[in-house]
Amino acid sequence: MNIHEYQAKDVLRRYGVPIPPGEVATTPDEAEAIARRVGKPVMVKAQVHVGGRGKAGGVKFCPTPEAAREKATAILGMDIKGLTVEKVLVTEAADIGTEAYVGIIVDRATKKAVFMVSAAGGIDIEEVAATTPEKIKYFPVDPRFGLLPFEAQQLGFFLYQDAKQARAAGKIMQQLYTAFVENGCSLAEINPLVVTPAGEVIAVDAKMVIDDNELERRKDLEALRDESSEAPSEVDARNANLTFIKLDGNVGCIVNGAGLAMATMDLVKFYGGEPANFLDIGGSSNPEKVVNALRIITADENVKAILFNIFGGITRTDDVANGIVTATKQNPLKVPIVIRLTGTNEEIAVKILSDNGFTALTDMDEAVKKAVQLATEGGK
C-alpha cells in the first residue's frame, strides 16, 4: 500500500526525523491560509501515488501566500499519469545546500532490509544506478541487531565528509530503519536528504510503501489508504479479492497462481509481447472471480487480446469455463480471447467452452504466441 508524502512525513516525525512543517490543503483558500501560518516561502506539492510530480508541474515554489493560492489553483485537479490531484501539501521551503538519497528496500535474496545511500540525491535513484552505480552504497542490515550506531556512522560518512553532518545523517538513518520495521514497510526513502547552507541535515521529501500483509493487524495503517489516488482497476480488483497489478502492455493476462502468472508474463515478453497486467484469480473455483477478472481486464483500453492460462489443481477448470461463458454473455468481448486450460475437469471445461463457441488450447507456448500475435494485429 502506497501512502502519500504528507502521511509518510507524519510517520517519520514520530520517530524524530527532522522535517519542515507543513499541512494538507484541498482548496486554494486552504493553501493560502497554511502558507500564512507558515510565515515563510513554501512549496506546494501535489499528493498522488506516482513519481515525476515535479516534471509534471505538480511541485511549485511559492514566495508568498498569494503565490501559494495561485499554484494550488493550477495543481488541484491536474492529471498526473492518469491520477487527478485532489490535495496538495503546503510545506516550508528549505534552503538547499546539497541533496542526498537515503532509502531502504527488502532484499528477498538475502531476506534482509538493505540500505541504499547516495550523495546524488534529488533525482530518480534508478537513474543513478543505471548511469553512475559507484555513487550508491548498499548495506544489508542484520535483523537480529538492527542498524547499529557505528554502521549508521559509516553510511553517514559515505554521504558527507563533515563529521557533524555524517552523525546527523546516521541518526536519521537509524530513525528511518526503526520506522521501516515497526510499520511493516517494503520501502522507505528520503529523497532528498538535504544539508542547508547553515549545515542542518533535514528530510524534505519522504516515501513509504506498507506491505499489505501488515494491514490485517494494523488498522491504523490501513486507515491511511487513499483509494482516490490509486488506479481504479486496482481498487476494483482488491474489492473483488483478486491480486492485480496494472502494467503498460496490451496482452491482458488472467491466470491462477502467482508463479504461473509470473511465468506467463515472462513468456509473453519472450514471444515479443507486453503484458497489460498481473492478475491472479487464485486457487478458488468460484466462477464469480472469473467474471470480475474479465470485467477489470476489458475496462483497460490498452488491452488488444486476452489470455487465460489456467492450470487446474485446486482450481476446477470447468468452473473457470463457466465463469468465462457467464462473463462474456454479460459483457460481450470486443477483443479476441485465447484460452489455455489443463488439469482438473479439463474435458468438462473444454465441452462447456466448445458448446458456447470457444476453443481451448492445452499447450502454454502455443496459447501465448497466439495471444501475442492477436494483440499485435489488434494494435495496428
Residue 163, pLDDT score: 96
Q: Is the peptide bond before 20 cis (omega within 30 degrees of 0)?
A: no
* Catalytic site positions: 101, 189
The architecture in CATH of the region 98-222 reads 2-Layer Sandwich (3.30)
DSSP string, 302-346: T--EEEEEEEESSS-HHHHHHHHHHHHHHS--SS-EEEEEEETTH
Residue 52's pLDDT band (boundaries 50, 70, 90)? confident
Residue 284's pLDDT band (boundaries 50, 70, 90)? low
The pLDDT of residue 364 is above 80: yes
* Mean of pLDDT over the chain: 92
Instruction: Let me know: does 146 contact 113? Beta carbons within 8 Å.
Output: no
From residue 341, give the alpha-carbon distance in Å to each of 111, 320, 374.
35, 9, 19
The pLDDT of residue 283 is above 80: no
Report the distance separating Cα 277 and Cα 274, nearest Å.
9
Q: Residues 122-128: contacts with CB within 8 Å, 24+ apart?
A: 122/191, 122/192, 124/51, 125/101, 125/189, 125/191, 128/101
Instruction: Let me know: does 345 contact 275? Beta carbons within 8 Å.
Output: no
Task: List the one residue out of 258, 256, 278 whose CA is nearest residue 268.
Answer: 278
CA 281 to chain centre: 20
Q: What is the dotted CATH code of the domain comprising 230-378? A: 3.40.50.261
Give every CB contact of residue 138 below 8 A, 6+ residues apart in sequence: 114, 115, 116
Once rounded to an integer, what is the mean pLDDT over residues 256-271? 94
pLDDT digits (tens, 9 = 90+) for 166-205: 999 999 999 999 999 999 999 999 999 999 999 999 999 9
Residue 22, pLDDT score: 94
Residue 285, pLDDT score: 56
pLDDT digits (tens, 9 = 90+) for 230-262: 777 888 888 888 889 889 899 999 999 889 999
Among the CATH numbers 3.40.1190.20, 3.30.1490.20, 3.30.70.1140, 2.40.50.100, which is that of 21-92? 3.30.1490.20
The pLDDT of residue 54 is above 90: no
Name the 3-class secondary structure at 368. Answer: helix
Number of Cβ within 10 Å of residue 80's Cβ equals: 20
Say what the pTM is. 0.79
Assess whether the region 98-222 and the region 230-378 belong to the same CATH fold.
no
The DSSP bridge partners found for residue 252 are: 306
